Amino acid sequence: MLRIDRIVGDRADPVMHERLHKLEHHGTVEIVKLPVTDLDRHRLRARTDGGEEVAITLPRDVHLFDGAVLHIDDTRAIVVRAGEQRWMRLTPSSIADANELGYHAGNLHWRVRFEGNDILVALDGPTDTYVSRIQHFIKHGRASWTEEGE
């Protein structure tokens, strides 16, 4: 098992990209696929697409991200690929509804972002679980929702 205690780079960095490109020609870049929800974790075990188990233990101030290079040397590299984040778009009917819906989402500790008047909620589980928590907004026409990928 390979132990990882730091992120050595970002695949988007031009110098790192060039090193990875050379290794890709030899088929020696392995991918660790992680759900988006695991990117906030500091300790986890995963398996590369090449079958190697990795134990990741990062300091609290270091976060995984899509494209994080966990290991690179002259013969191979290991890179993180994050799955697609699903989002629920909430469209409030009024400014007052937007304020209350935003306050409610905060109390539920939902990860959100904003687009215009809409609130986008990151879905880390079944959509029905989230919709059930805002059913009173939907039932009374105070908000509508749709699900979308990123």
What are residue 60's phi and psi, to 5 degrees?
A: -60, -25
pLDDT at 84: 79
Residue 30, classified by CB atoms within 10 Å of its CB into exposed (0-12), middle (13-18) or buried (19+), is buried
86-149 CATH, one of 3.40.50.720, 3.50.50.60, 3.30.70.790, 3.30.750.24:
3.30.70.790
How does residue 77 score in pLDDT terms, banded at 50, 70 and 90? very high
Please give the CATH topology (third level) of the domain spanning 2-82.
HSP40/DNAj peptide-binding domain (2.60.260)
Distance CA(39)–CA(49), nearest Å, equals 18
* Global pTM value: 0.65
